[in-house]
Every structure is written in structure tokens, then in C-alpha cells.
């Protein structure tokens, strides 16, 4: 999914996010826009800090500000046609300098032709080359991030699943249990969700008896269905105007509280 969000051969699925987060058609490779790189790391792959740990300690961060900037440099060169929404990658516009991106070793057994294990540097020119017929840079960089931060990404997904299915405020041990299932299934979420739904966590006191608050769209669509109003249309002006909640347009990359 992450690879298709970044690049999908000009097909639907790669234009909206790149356009909304200012990835496309940039002109200055020395000062790349960091919106896309920051939110891909923070909102789509891993939190800035590991869930349940206090924020603010630089030693507990999953990535640094330098990583955000370097990732933006790596992604420089994506272009999009505003009429056709076709997305392309201009490999000639990217940097020739080796870059340091994310600290730490690769997963055991993982190796990449663009990664120097001694210096920890990425050769961006080699990064662009397809591996086993993939799409080159957009696929390679996602695989690299997963290799560097698989535990952190698994905890991020575990936190999302726990809060959606179980309750707010998970413990670290609960997240570790879900994350270990995600890792064991190589990030295939279906078996991990099955395991979660059959676990004792679903029958815990906070899962069975804690309050869960629906957002305005959930309340409105649920009411329409309950009262037999037929197929609910979430583009209905009532939703957009009267409750001030425009579907698919949160107004901010952080959404709403």
C-alpha cells in the first residue's frame, strides 16, 4: 500500500497524497519540500516516538529531523500532470551525493545493492535501479525503511489496531503481543487481526466496558441507516455544511481530535 501511495505507474492511488503533501514538480533539489517525507514517516509508517513512551527524549525517536530532510532529498524528482494525474519520476533531477538515512543495522539477512554496510550510506543513483523488476526508487526505499524500522512499524500498526478494535490507552505489553504477530506474518494484517479478535484482550475490562465515542460522520451515517434512509451519501451537503465535517478533506494533515 505504501509503495502504491508513492508510485503506482501513473494509476489512481499515487496522485492525491503527493499533490496534497507537495511532493510533485519541485524546482530546488537542495531545499526539497519535507511535507511528504515527514508525514509518510510519522502518519503512514511509524510514529515519531514509540507508542506508550514519553515524547520528547531524542534517544526514543524513531527518526531524526535529518532523516526527514534526507528522505525528502531521496524523493525529489517526482512529477505529476495536473490534468491526467499521471505520476512520473525524473531520475536525472535527483542527487548524486551518498546520503545517510536512518541509523542502525539492516534486518538480519537483508541486503541492498544501494546500501553500504560499512558507512551506512545510500547511493541514490543505485537506489533508482529496479530490483527483480520492481519500480526502482519508490519500491526500494520503502523496503529499506522496513528493513531499518520493522519493529517500530509493527508497533505503529499494533497501536492502530488496538485502538480501533479494543480500547484507548494500550499497554506496551499488549502492543508487543500484537506487533509480534504482525512481524511473524510479515506484515500481512489479516492473520494478525484474526489473532487479535480471538485474544483475551477483546474480553478485558477496558475493552468490554470502556466508553468509545463516535465521530460526527459515524453518528450521522449510522442514524441514516438505522432510520432506513437508504444508501447514505457521505457527500451529502448536511455533512459538509451543518456539522462542519467534510469527508476526505480534514483541513489538516493531523485530521481532527
206 vs 9, higher pLDDT: 206
pLDDT > 80? residue 242? no
User: pLDDT tens across 29-85, in order?
Assistant: 889 999 999 999 999 999 999 998 887 777 789 999 999 999 999 999 999 998 888
127 and 157 share one domain: no
CA nearest 3: which of 14, 18, 19? Answer: 14
67 and 174 share one domain: no
Give me the number of domains the chain comprises: 3
Distance CA 178, CA 184 (A): 10
32 and 111 share one domain: yes
228 and 205 share one domain: no
pLDDT at 90: 87
pLDDT > 80? residue 212? no
Distance CA 216, CA 238 (A): 11
pTM for the structure as a whole:
0.84
115 and 71 share one domain: yes
Mean pLDDT (whole number) for 83-97: 87
Distance set, CA 138 to CA 87, 108, 194, 200, 231 (Å): 12, 22, 30, 39, 38
30 and 73 share one domain: yes
**Residue at a domain's end among 131, 148, 165:** 148
pLDDT at 245: 64
Contact 114, 92 (CB under 8 A): no
pLDDT > 80? residue 214? no
Place of cell 533508482: 128
Range(s) of the domain holding residue 235 = 213-257
pLDDT at 235: 52
108 and 38 share one domain: yes
Percentage of the chain modeled with pLDDT above 90: 58
How sure is the predictor about 230, in pLDDT bands with cuts at 50, 70 and 90?
low
**Residue at a domain's end among 97, 119, 148:** 148
DSSP letter string, 21-87: TT-SS---TTS---HHHHHIIIIII--SB-TTSPTT-GGGBSS-HHHHHHHHHHHTTEEE-TTT--E
How confident is the prediction for the chain on average, in pLDDT? 87
168 and 219 share one domain: no
How sure is the predictor about 231, in pLDDT bands with cuts at 50, 70 and 90?
low
DSSP letter string, 136-171: SHHHHHHHHHHHHSHHHHHHHHHHHHHHHHT-SS--
164 and 251 share one domain: no
pLDDT > 70? residue 250? no
pLDDT at 78: 93
191 and 220 share one domain: no
Q: How many CA atoms lie within 13 A of 228 on its CB side?
A: 0
241: Cβ–Cβ under 8 A, 6 or more apart, which residues? none
Contact 170, 162 (CB under 8 A): yes
Amino acid at each position: 500500500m505504501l509503495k502504491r501511495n508513492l508510485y503506482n505507474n501513473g494509476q489512481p492511488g499515487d496522485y492525491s497524497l503527493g499533490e496534497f503533501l507537495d511532493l510533485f514538480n519541485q524546482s530546488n533539489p537542495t531545499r526539497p519540500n519535507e511535507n511528504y517525507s515527514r508525514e509518510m514517516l510519522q502518519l503512514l509508517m511509524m510514529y515519531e516516538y514509540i507508542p506508550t513512551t514519553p515524547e520528547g527524549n531524542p534517544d526514543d525517536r524513531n527518526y531524526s529531523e535529518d532523516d526527514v530532510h534526507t528522505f525528502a532529498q531521496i524523493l525529489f524528482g517526482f512529477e505529476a500532470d495536473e490534468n491526467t494525474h499521471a505520476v512520473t519520476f525524473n531520475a536525472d533531477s535527483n542527487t548524486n551525493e551518498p546520503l545517510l538515512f536512518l541509523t542502525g543495522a539492516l534486518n538480519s539477512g537483508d541486503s541492498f545493492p544501494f546500501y553500504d554496510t560499512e558507512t551506512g550510506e545510500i547511493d541514490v543513483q543505485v537506489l533508482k535501479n529496479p530490483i527483480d523488476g520492481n519500480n526502482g526508487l519508490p519500491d526500494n526505499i520503502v523496503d529499506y525503511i522496513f528493513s531499518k524500522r520493522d519493529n517500530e512499524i509493527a508497533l505503529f500498526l499494533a497501536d492502530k489496531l488496538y485502538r480501533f478494535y479494543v480500547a484507548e490507552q494500550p499497554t506496551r505489553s499488549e502492543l508487543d503481543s500484537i506487533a509480534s504477530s504482525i512481524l511473524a506474518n510479515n506484515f500481512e494484517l489479516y492473520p494478525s487481526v484474526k489473532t487479535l479478535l480471538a485474544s483475551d484482550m477483546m474480553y478485558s475490562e477496558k475493552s468490554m466496558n470502556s466508553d468509545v465515542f463516535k465521530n460526527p460522520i459515524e453518528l450521522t451515517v449510522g442514524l441514516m441507516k438505522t432510520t432506513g434512509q437508504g444508501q447514505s451519501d457521505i457527500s451529502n451537503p448536511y455533512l459538509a455544511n451543518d456539522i462542519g465535517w467534510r469527508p476526505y478533506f480534514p483541513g489538516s494533515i493531523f485530521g481532527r481530535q
